[in-house]
């Protein structure tokens, strides 16, 4: 019972924190920024409409610490779904191995069968992959974080 109460308390704190951050962000964006010639300015009303549309179709998921689509909503046309993104990650893990000595990914001569790896090996490799790579939404590819610096 206490565990449930603690989880509820944490959820309330997360919701309150998210709300406060959103409200702080709204205050920071309240003034209209100067625009570059040839572009149109986004009005406050347009931003509110976009926000309302986003809130209708998304919910904050504290487990993944990110926004997730609500049931019954589809992602925008042309956007890769979660399964496709995971498949690309698994393809990378199949063709590369993390080497802790060199602290880098080593290409394999021939692809390995991921299903033959232990659960612990997959966890370690996935953790390293997520530490060294990030999903680039604009280009829809996995990018090496270290090469961007």
- Tokens, residue 130: 């997520």
- In DSSP terms, 98 is beta-bridged to 105
Tens digit of pLDDT for each residue in 38-86? Answer: 556 788 999 999 899 888 888 888 887 888 888 888 777 777 777 888 8
Tens digit of pLDDT for each residue in 83-134? Answer: 888 888 889 989 998 888 888 899 999 998 888 888 898 888 888 888 888 8
- 93 burial (CB, 10 Å; 0-12 / 13-18 / 19+) is buried
For residue 25, the model assigns a pLDDT of 65
Cβ 93 vs Cβ 125: under 8 Å: yes
- Overall pTM > 0.85: no
- Whole-number percent of the chain with pLDDT over 90: 11
Task: For residue 19, give the 3-state DSSP assignment.
Answer: helix
């Amino acid at each position: 019972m206490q565990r449930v109460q603690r989880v509820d308390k944490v959820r309330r704190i997360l919701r309150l924190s998210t709300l406060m951050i959103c409200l702080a962000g709204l205050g920071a964006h309240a003034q209209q920024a100067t625009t570059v010639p040839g572009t149109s300015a986004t009005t406050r009303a347009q931003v509110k409409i976009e926000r309302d549309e986003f809130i209708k179709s998304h919910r904050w998921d504290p487990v993944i610490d990110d926004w997730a689509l609500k049931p019954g909503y589809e992602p925008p046309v042309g956007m890769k779904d979660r399964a496709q993104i995971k498949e690309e990650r698994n393809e990378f893990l199949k063709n590369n191995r993390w080497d802790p000595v060199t602290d880098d990914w080593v290409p394999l001569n021939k692809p390995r069968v991921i299903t033959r790896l232990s659960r612990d090996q997959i966890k370690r490799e996935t953790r390293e992959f997520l530490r060294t790579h990030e999903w680039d939404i604009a280009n829809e590819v996995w990018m090496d974080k270290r090469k961007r610096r």
